Amino acid sequence: MSSAAFARPSIESEWVLPSRGRVGMLSLIAAEAAIFTIFVVAYIFYIGKSLSGPMPKDVLELPIFNTVCLLSSSLTIHLAVRALRNAKVRAFGLWWFVTIALGAIFLVGTAREWQRLIFEKGLTISTNLFGTTYYSLVGLHAFHVTVGLIALAIGMIFTFLGKVKPEHSERAEIFSLYWHFVDAVWVIVFTVVYVVGR
Amino acid sequence: MATKSIALTGVDRDTRPISEKLHDWVVTVDHKKLGILYILYALLFLVIGGIEATIIRIQLVVPHNHFVSPQVFNRMFTMHGTTMIFFVFMPMLFGFGTYLIPLMIGARDMAFPRLNAFSFWMTAFGGLLLYFSFIGGNGLYGAGNAPDVGWFAYAPLTSRAFSPGHSTDFWTLGLLVSGFGSIGTAVNFIATILCMRCPGMTLGKMPLLAWLNLVMAGMVILAVSPLTAAQIMLSIDRYLGAHFFDSQAGGSAVLWMHFFWIFGHPEVYILVIPAFAFVSEIIPVFSRKPIFGYPVMVAATVCIGFVSFSVWAHHMFTVGMTSYANSFFTITTMVVGVPTGIKIFNWIGTMWGGKIQFRAPMLFCVGFLFQFLTAGLTGIMLSASPFNWQLSNSYFVVAHFHYVLVGAILFTIFGAFYYWFPKITGRMYNETLAKWHFWLFLIGFHLTFDFMHIPGILGMPRRIYTYEPGRGWEIWNLIVTIGVIFQIAGVLVFVFNLLRSLVNGESAGADPWDAWTLEWSTSSPPPEYNFAKIPVVKSRRPLWDIKHPEDPDWKYE
């Protein structure tokens, strides 16, 4: 604990506390991070322990395009928030839309990958331990992308209705924390599943 | 003081139809109403869990008893453990936190009132889901089937082959749903405590109850989430045929143990830290002294929070780990005793030289001090892995953790009930009945749980539904069950006292204990907005400063 926490403020000076939205979102992210940690640990623990095929090196391909799309959506949402803070609502709507598009492309990419794995390679969640851990971890992440997309879409609807004002920039920023988190998780999932696990 | 009761009689004169009043309670986002809902809900489940414990004890009172079948016995200890941890202690402590934190930090509500309501109803529906298994467990063709896999539900017992039907799914979903509620509450606690404090209340001037609940909330976030993840995996295993915990396909049963206890051990501290919080508020007031060593208490709590995340595998010594792992978890488990010992020292330091008033809340806290110390000592014994190999899964372990859960946590909860009952209801409880409750429960507790250690040392394993005569266990089991009678009598006195005082109790006034924290500065019960004017504080005991303007605390802090 810093000594500043115990310093006596003069009561007359302005009483400033952290934003509750930001603290709440960061707490939620901590909880989500703990959930993902358990899934990642399970994935790493079961690497190479499948009793039957198909194995990761036989069926997995690096999803480079997907990854580029998702990671760049972090940049676009940041630009959207900055635009809103500077009262440029049109620019905000544009960047917000690009973020949705990039997130949607990522989801479509995951869906195509799953389709290929299930129907061409015969890998399902019950095939072997690789299937179990792969679909759970990637699926949990994709679920979080989906939740983020729903929230983004709601924000988009409000933008079309003209309800979004510069004073909402803090809310947009708090949501962007979640989106950045989902992107950061993808970096770990990518490393564990497609680099280390292959 | 008498004028303060006007608000109360105003509430009594509420003439709306009962359906509208109930509707108010269902749709409420007020932290005080939600806190009361949490507490009532937990009390209901305390009775249910108590009945299950009584059934267990009746079955074990004599050898070869046939009070219940082995199958029912398995369901009883599973439901007893699950109920008490997830649907009694968690909601009870969350309830007190939800009620008290905004009042103690001078706020008008929690940071996220609607999330607060959401969290409560998630917890409530989780409990309903668990208990629905009694009628729906086998899939609605009549025969009920509650979960019977034990409260930690080790694999492969939870696999489809060994748990057919839906009983285990009800267990999983009930805990998953209430887990979301717990995480929501924890997020809310953290945001409230960090962002809603009244002017002047720096972190170093917060009441210890707020500090300890902040640490507890942080632990909930980091500990309940792994349980949530593990429950999701178990559901995927059972519904989609995955192999996380399926050793036939290369999965690992030990992985479930690790995931469960990464949650399970911090959970003990999640429950005991709010209990510490009650003690840290009650002992100073009834010793008429400020808490001894405030910064050390905070530091010790944070320290317990950290260390408790590295002790989980002491639940798994008998599974067979490497000697390095055994040594590591033995040492960390012993280390966690150090900050805990500091806290006990500080509470005694607070009482030392004080003008101690042995009212009911204080009696329960003194009982807590002794019993928690004893529980800690048997904990140190069990932390030594060779000793643990002898006694793990015996009644010695059962006695040890009931000493913590009942002797420490439940005692402080009773203390908290008596301490804050005047604030929550505006009425004073009956002191004589409260003392009867204390002594009956104390005698019952010690009869049951002191003597439960002995059959454990003599080799009686936990979770057996009956036993052979002639092993020297009979007399101890008989005494243990006799203790239950005293505990039930104590709880009946407690419930009677609450109900009677609610109707007939004397008006309590705003500040019956001459206490020092902000919740006593508003009327009893507090108005919906808590404080007409947001208070400004300058020290850890703002009401002392008001009552003693000639010698305020802030001159010395």
Q: Does B58 touch chain A (CB under 8 A)?
A: no
Residue B507's φ and ψ, nearest 5 degrees, are -65, 135
A83 token code pair:
């635009």
Average the pLDDT over each of B121-130, B142-151, B266-275 and give the range with the smallest value: B142-151
Give the span between the Cα atoms of B456 and B470, in whole angstroms.
Answer: 15
Say whether pLDDT at B144 is over 90: no
Over the stretch B155-176, which tens digit does the pLDDT of each residue have? 899 998 888 888 899 999 999 9
- For residue B430, is it left (φ>0), alpha (ψ between -120 and 50) or beta? beta
Total-model pTM: 0.93
Over the stretch B295-330, which tens digit does the pLDDT of each residue have? 999 999 999 999 999 999 999 999 989 999 999 999
Q: Which H or E run includes B247?
A: none
State how far residue A117 is from chain B, nearest Cα, in angstroms. 16
CB of B329 closer than 8 Å to CB of B372: no
**A13: exposed, middle or buried (Cβ count in 10 Å: 0-12, 13-18, 19+):** exposed
Give the span between the Cα atoms of B43 and B49, in whole angstroms.
Answer: 10
**Per-residue pLDDT at B6:** 44
**How high does pLDDT run on average in chain A?**
92
Say whether pLDDT at B140 is over 60: no
**Per-residue pLDDT at B21:** 87
Mean pLDDT confidence for A144-151: 97
Q: Does A34 touch chain B (CB under 8 A)?
A: yes
Mean pLDDT confidence for B222-241: 95
**Per-residue pLDDT at B7:** 46
Say whether pLDDT at A187 is over 90: yes
**Per-residue pLDDT at B241:** 92
Give the span between the Cα atoms of B427 and A23, in whole angstroms.
Answer: 37
**Per-residue pLDDT at A128:** 93
How does B253-279 read in b/e, with b if 16+ C-beta sit within 10 Å? bbbbbbbbbbbbbbbbbbbbbbbbbbb
Say whether pLDDT at B464 is over 60: yes
Say whether pLDDT at B143 is over 60: no
Cα-to-chain-centroid distance, residue A108: 15
Which is nearest to A182 in space by CA: A67, A101, A96?
A: A67
Terminal Cα distance for chain A, rounded = 43
Q: Determine the residue of chain B that is closest to A48 in CA distance.
A: B250
B408 token code pair:
């420490």
Mean pLDDT confidence for A65-93: 95
Mean pLDDT confidence for B525-554: 92
B18 token code pair:
């009962």
**Per-residue pLDDT at A111:** 96
What are the strands, taking DSSP E only, across chain A?
none
Mean pLDDT confidence for B532-544: 93
Give the span between the Cα atoms of B408 and B250, in whole angstroms.
Answer: 42
CB of B79 closer than 8 Å to CB of B52: yes
How does A121-141 read in b/e, with b if 16+ C-beta sit within 10 Å? eebbbbbbbbbbbbbbbbebb
Sign of CA dihedral A173, A177, A178, A184: positive
How does B66-105 read in b/e, with b if 16+ C-beta sit within 10 Å? ebbeeeebbbbbbbbbbbbbbbbbbbbbbbbbbbbbbbbb
Q: Which H or E run includes A44?
A: helix A20-45
DSSP helix, strand, coil percent of chain B (3-state; round to 5): 70, 0, 30
Say whether pLDDT at B193 is over 70: yes
Give the span between the Cα atoms of B1 and A193, in whole angstroms.
Answer: 67
Q: Determine the residue of chain A that is closest to B235 in CA distance.
A: A136
Give the span between the Cα atoms of B285 and B225, in whole angstroms.
Answer: 36
Cβ contact B242–A17 (<8 Å)? no
Q: Which domains does chain A have, with CATH numbers?
A: 19-196 (1.20.120.80)
State how far residue A100 is from chain B, nearest Cα, in angstroms. 26
Q: Which among B221, B553, B555 is the top mutation candidate for probing chain A, defined by the most A β-carbons within 10 Å of its own β-carbon?
A: B221
Regarding predicted confidence, which is higher, A15 or B53?
Answer: B53
The yes/no answer on whether domain B2-555 falls in CATH 1.20.210.10 is: yes
Q: Of all residues in chain B, what percent carry a pLDDT higher than 70?
A: 96
- For residue B530, is it left (φ>0), alpha (ψ between -120 and 50) or beta? left
Torsion of the alpha carbons at B24, B27, B30 and B36, rounded to the nearest 10: 70
State how far residue A157 is from chain B, nearest Cα, in angstroms. 23
Mean pLDDT confidence for B347-353: 96
Say whether pLDDT at A10 is over 60: no
Say whether pLDDT at B9 is over 50: no
HSE, side-chain direction, 13 A CA sphere, residue B469: 6
Say whether pLDDT at B279 is over 70: yes
Residue with tokens 């002594």: B439
Say whether pLDDT at A3 is over 90: no
CB of B509 closer than 8 Å to CB of B524: yes
DSSP SS3 for A50: coil
Which band of pLDDT confidence, cut at 50, 70 and 90, is reported for residue B377? very high
Cβ contact A125–B236 (<8 Å)? yes
Write out chain B residues lying below 8 Å of A49, CB-based: 250
What angle do the packed helices B294-307 and B208-240 form, to 10 degrees?
Answer: 10
Q: Which among B109, B195, B298 is the top mutation candidate for probing chain A, defined by the most A β-carbons within 10 Å of its own β-carbon?
A: B195
Over the stretch B52-110, which tens digit does the pLDDT of each residue have? 999 999 999 999 999 999 989 999 999 999 999 999 999 999 999 999 999 999 999 99
Q: Does B187 touch chain A (CB under 8 A)?
A: yes
**Per-residue pLDDT at A4:** 42
- For residue B136, is it left (φ>0), alpha (ψ between -120 and 50) or beta? alpha
**Least CB–CB distance from A31: residue in B192, B202, B221:** B221
Q: Of all residues in chain A, what percent carry a pLDDT higher than 90?
A: 88
Distances from the Cα of B53 to the Cα of A179, B68, B81, B84, B251, angstroms: 47, 13, 9, 10, 34
Q: Of all residues in chain B, what percent carry a pLDDT higher than 90?
A: 87
Question: How many other C-beta atoms can be found within 10 angstroms of the C-beta atom of residue A108?
Answer: 12
Q: Which H or E run includes B15?
A: none
Question: How many other C-beta atoms can be found within 10 angstroms of the C-beta atom of residue B37?
Answer: 22
Mean pLDDT confidence for B373-395: 93
Which is nearest to B477 in space by CA: B545, B386, B398, B551?
A: B398
Say whether pLDDT at B141 is over 70: no
Cβ contact B192–A17 (<8 Å)? no
- ipTM beyond cut 0.90: yes
A173 token code pair:
């920023």
Give the span between the Cα atoms of B353 and B494, in whole angstroms.
Answer: 31
Write out chain B residues lying below 8 Å of A140, CB-based: 232
- For residue A19, is it left (φ>0), alpha (ψ between -120 and 50) or beta? beta
CB of B513 closer than 8 Å to CB of B423: no
Residue with tokens 């643990």: B388
Give the span between the Cα atoms of B441 and B209, in whole angstroms.
Answer: 25
